Chain A
Amino acid sequence: MRPFDFQRASGAAEAMDPGLRVIAGGTNLLDLMKHEVETPARLIDVNHVGLDEVRREGEGLRIGALVRNSDLAAHEAVRRDWPLLSRAILAGASGQIRNRATTGGNLMQRTRCPYFYDIHARCNKREPGQGCDAIGGFTRSHAILGASEACIATYPGDMAVALTALDAVVEVEGQGGAREIPAAGFHRLPGDDPSRDNDLRPGEFITGVRLPAPLGGRQVYRKVRDRRSYAFALVSVALAVTMEGGRMTRVRLAFGGVAHKPWRVPEAEALLEGHAPHAALFDRAADAVLEGARGQGDNDFKIELLRRTLVATLTDATGDAA
């Protein structure tokens, strides 16, 4: 671990400094620092700035950036009205990590792969322009959608996948003022600059996440992985579907484990909305989601796995309502 300066913020404004690296739960950052994948010179601890409340805001919900994952997943309103979020959080990490991890920090966890984590491997995310040793290497966990020649890493989180499906908004604030970024647009694709995981600008700080009015309907987070807990998704499907009169009137879908960011395909949702559920339609939705999907060898199976998981999730969620 490279020596670093440490200071504790008493208010969020102090964290809005491009020269400082924010630390909250530290569940990802400390690990990266120990391996010297990240070597920030100055850390600012935001654990004491407040922003740790969940409160109703109109029909929606405002979640402070410092709300711990465990508290958010257990929150009564979340469990009742946005169960997708609660389920996604509980599908991630371990109890110990969720107790420590925060809402803002969870969004800020690095999009990554084992080669990113190995300072002796080449990685464009760590050292732009260096090359990517993951391509042609062991690629079981890697992206099948939206990858580039520069980077095939996947965003590993679960919470953000649910937030993406739920049309959540990330509230950020910097010296230039506050702004809102839709969760679906918060993380970015690697393109030719994979060093940037998200669209946060230097000095900007996540203050909270806003959920719009509950979507209702059935909400499912299905995470498929190599063991039943403490493993990143090979693929995950977040689904919120409302049925009326035998038709799917509103469908929200997002996918984890397949791209550099939580993956969302509005065309697939539009294709389903207004129709009665049936197998051929689900297949077409899967076609839409998987358009352009490409495996790296070891992860080719994810294409078929995502199709199967999506179709089964849709079938189960709409099953006895038809």
Chain B
Amino acid sequence: MSDTVQVERQQKMDSREDTDFFGGTAQGVLSTAMDRPDGPQKVTGTATYADEDHPPGTVFGWLVRATVTRGFVTGLNTDELRAMPGVLLVLRDDRLLRNPAQGQAGRAPVQFKGEVAYKGQPIALVVAESFEQARHAGLAAKADYLDRGGKAVICPEDAEFETPKAKQSSMGDLDAAMTAAAHRLDGEWTTPSMSHVAMEPHSAVAWWEDGKLTVRASQQMLKHNVKELADSLGISPAMVRILAPFVGGGFGSKLGISHESVAAAIAARKLGRPVAVPLHRRQVCETTTRRSESRQRVRLCCDRDGVLTGVGHEVWVSNLPGETFSEPVTQSTPFTYRGENREIAHHVGRLNITCAGSMRAPGEAIGVPVTEAAIDELAEMAGIDPIEFRLRNIPEEDPSKEIPYSSNRLADCLRRGAELFGWSERKPAGTRREGEWLIGMGMATAVRVNMLQESEARVVLLPDGSARVETDMTDIGTGSYSILTQIAAEALGLPADRVTTVLGDSDLPPAAGSGGSFGAASSGSSVTLAAQAVREELAKRMGADPGELTLKDGHAIAGNTRRSLPDLLGGEAIEGKGTIKPGSNARSVRQASWGAQFAEVAVSAVTGEVQVRRMAAVFAAGRVLNPKTARSQCIGGMVFGIGSALTEESHYDRRDGSFVNRDLAEYKIPANLDVPKIEIEFLEDRDAWANPMQAKGIGEVAVCGTAGAILNAIANATGVRFRHLPVTLDKVIAALPRP
């Protein structure tokens, strides 16, 4: 074991970071389209996900679902189940979860304690030698329920709404502005409940050793998940380790711990054997989280020149009783456009259906399509091209808080997007037709708040001059392995194949985790800082200022001296610890990622089918760390957006809240044929307020403008403004005359 020198660097974002560190590094590996280091493992099936690679002796659990919507469980046919083939345990435990923890909760969510709050809620776990035996017994479970009154509320129309004070705001006099305006719009839109349906179903494998619990789980935020799991079980977080080296998508549904890890942990303890609890797709749909449906009233008004004078956005969303999360639909409304008179209102109704939680771009993903449809409609009323209308309404600063933007290249995105897409070819609404197909072009602004979360990483420069990155960050398909490798390689002047990145183990330094599009910036910044600490140590050894040090291809260069890293290390390792912390920049400036998105659609005048023919988008989101993974994220986001515009909707039976289309055959995410050619460009952008890398979130912004662009394209094709998402063909034929 060689000696290790420990160094450390911390930064709290309380001011602009004027030094563009990566503008001065020499390796040239950051911001290149490097292939994923984990790619070969993924395509050869050797990347092990949560429900793989079971420890010897693993047994399997199936969660029993509640067959009533509300009530108390008073009994279960335990003896009968216990006698079924292979059954080892029928677990009833108050610690089972009612619903998963919300993102970054860091403590137990509402636990079972015998009460059912929605149909399909897990009420017990059956464990058997094989998965098939467990499921067979689980399906044979029969519970007794006691109805203690209290009506189950399934539809928002029947819900009582709360109006939380902190979520309302107003400025000026919107009513007066509406009355006085040259053009005004007052409309109502709806968006449906949606399901994340990440490709990998939630799964957990739990085992205990010497009183310590290890869980292989499919999670996005390990440092929070450890606390949530420990709190749910009533043990110390120090006794819990979570492993999630590979995660097959999350989209927010794996932010907090869910039923499977708690159930697996309790059962494993009782049985003294490893227990795997993989959720079935149906259980994923019913029992993890959903995106809330929304009703949105938008009021907009402008003067003769198309300058907005008022913006109103009032929303109604829902969640289970007692949940504090509610879809922040209006999140970007206050700062996207001009308008000195504003009213933002937010209401939360209580429903007895699947828990609502964060789903990719919570808030903007459904708020921005609606406000962008409204803006488009107002532009049309004002007789102004939609792009020109938006350009006239980009404020100098955040008009609600009177604080500057950290960086805002929306105007450039709009102009470049128009060029890329061929916006000048757009025709007046309802005038372009090819046979039965009505053709239209539409666009929308994409905007998503940019965040930073505390994150820690370790970067070890080993005596042989290679490096290892360690943090409990997750890679949920986004490319964390790629970018963290690139960041460390760039900062230390190493080829990427000299850097190994280890993630997804809660014993490693606690990272921000994957969520809110802050994962790359937060964990990347911690890796940057850790590597900078190592650089400082190397500079000292070179007798140079860190600013005068060049690291490239495994060599340190300062002045006339050039030494190889192994030589400089002299058999020692340097271990750098980096910590990034959010600071006052989160309040002193308005940070967001921006984009302009475009779609061309064809709408059948016969059947009402809508096909997206092509899409294009231009984004400005600070430094792009890897254009390949960034582009993949944006493509994924835009496919997500197609789904929310046209096909995706969770259907709950209005009588009892059964999730009717709880599988991938009937919950319709876009299939390959639904996805057209997608062109994506990133503008050169740096955001000195955001973090030391000057990068911003890219994962979610691409969702935000897609559905709006499609809605506006449909309006351009048909002359009809559809206000209820998804725009399925039944809605279209109801609005279009028979051909």
Contact = CB atoms under 8 A, between A and B. Distances in A.
Interface of A: 1-3, 34-36, 114-115, 118-121, 133, 136-138, 140-141, 224, 226-232, 234, 301, 304-305, 307-309, 311-312
Nearest to A234: B729
Given A36-B139, A118-B658, A137-B653, A228 B739 contact: no
Contact of B668 (A119, A227, A309, A312): A227
B666 interface: yes
A227 B139 contact: no
Given A120-B67, A312-B436, A312-B606, A226 B132 contact: no
B201 to A, nearest CB: 14
Contact of B729 (A2, A114, A138, A305): A305
B733 A228 contact: no
B726 to A, nearest CB: 9
A155 to B, nearest CB: 15
A70 B671 CA distance: 19
A114 B661 contact: yes
A232 B663 CA distance: 13
Given A114-B660, A121-B658, A305 B139 contact: no
A227 B661 contact: no
30 contacts: A1-B132, A1-B135, A114-B660, A114-B666, A120-B658, A121-B658, A137-B658, A138-B651, A138-B653, A226-B729, A227-B646, A227-B668, A227-B670, A227-B671, A229-B671, A229-B672, A229-B673, A230-B665, A231-B665, A231-B668, A231-B671, A305-B607, A305-B729, A305-B733, A307-B738, A308-B606, A308-B739, A311-B606, A311-B738, A312-B436
B85 interface: yes
Interface string B720-737: 000000001110011000
B67 A308 contact: no
A133 B666 CA distance: 18
B82 interface: no
Contacts of B729: 224, 226, 234, 301, 305
B136 interface: yes
A121 B119 CA distance: 12
Contact of B655 (A136, A230, A305): A136
Given A36-B139, A226-B668, 5 more contacts: A137-B660, A229-B671, A231-B665, A301-B734, A312-B606
B interface SS class: loop
B671 to A, nearest CB: 5
A311 B607 CA distance: 11
A198 to B, nearest CB: 22
Contacts of A227: 646-647, 668, 670-671, 673-674
Contacts of A138: 651-654, 660-661
B471 interface: no
Contacts of B132: 1
Nearest first, the 4 A-B pairs at minimum CB distance are A301-B730, A228-B673, A312-B606, A138-B660
Nearest to A225: B609
Interface residues of B, number: 38
Contacts of A35: 139
B671 A228 contact: yes
B633 interface: no
B641 to A, nearest CB: 14
Contacts of A231: 665, 668, 671
A308 B609 CA distance: 12
A121 B660 CA distance: 10
A233 to B, nearest CB: 11
Interface in B543-571: none
Nearest to B135: A1
A72 to B, nearest CB: 21
A234 B732 CA distance: 14
Interface centre among A119, A227, A228 (most CB of B within 10 A): A227
Interface in B629-683: 646-647, 651-655, 658, 660-661, 665-666, 668, 670-674
B671 A224 contact: no
A232 B668 CA distance: 11
A304 B666 contact: no
B647 A226 contact: yes
Given A140-B651, A229-B671, A308-B606, A119 B139 contact: yes
B421 to A, nearest CB: 22
A308 B607 contact: yes
Interface centre among A35, A119, A226, A312 (most CB of B within 10 A): A226
Nearest to A302: B730
A308 B738 contact: yes
B611 interface: yes
Contact of A304 (B65, B671, B673, B733): B733
Contacts of B651: 138, 140
A3 B85 contact: yes
A35 B138 CA distance: 11
Contact of B739 (A115, A141, A226, A312): A312
A82 B85 CA distance: 51
A228 B655 contact: no
Interface string B417-456: 0000000000000000000100000000000000000000
Interface in B85-111: 85
A230 B658 contact: no
A120 B728 CA distance: 29
A309 B728 CA distance: 16
Given A1-B135, A230-B671, A312-B739, A305 B730 contact: yes
Contacts of A120: 65, 67, 658
A238 to B, nearest CB: 16
Nearest to A224: B607
Interface centre among B65, B608, B665 (most CB of A within 10 A): B665
B263 to A, nearest CB: 20
A114 to B, nearest CB: 5
Contacts of A311: 606, 738
B139 A308 contact: no
Interface string B215-249: 00000000000000000000000000000000000
A305 B739 CA distance: 12
A234 B139 CA distance: 31
A307 B661 CA distance: 27
A1 B136 contact: yes
A35 B135 CA distance: 9
A308 B733 contact: yes
A18 B733 CA distance: 47
Interface centre among B135, B606, B729 (most CB of A within 10 A): B606
Contacts of A34: 135
A227 B674 CA distance: 7
Contacts of B661: 114, 138
Nearest to B652: A138
Nearest to A304: B733
Contacts of B738: 307-308, 311
A3 B734 CA distance: 49
A119 B608 CA distance: 34
Interface in B315-361: none
A294 B725 CA distance: 26
Contact of A228 (B67, B606, B674): B674
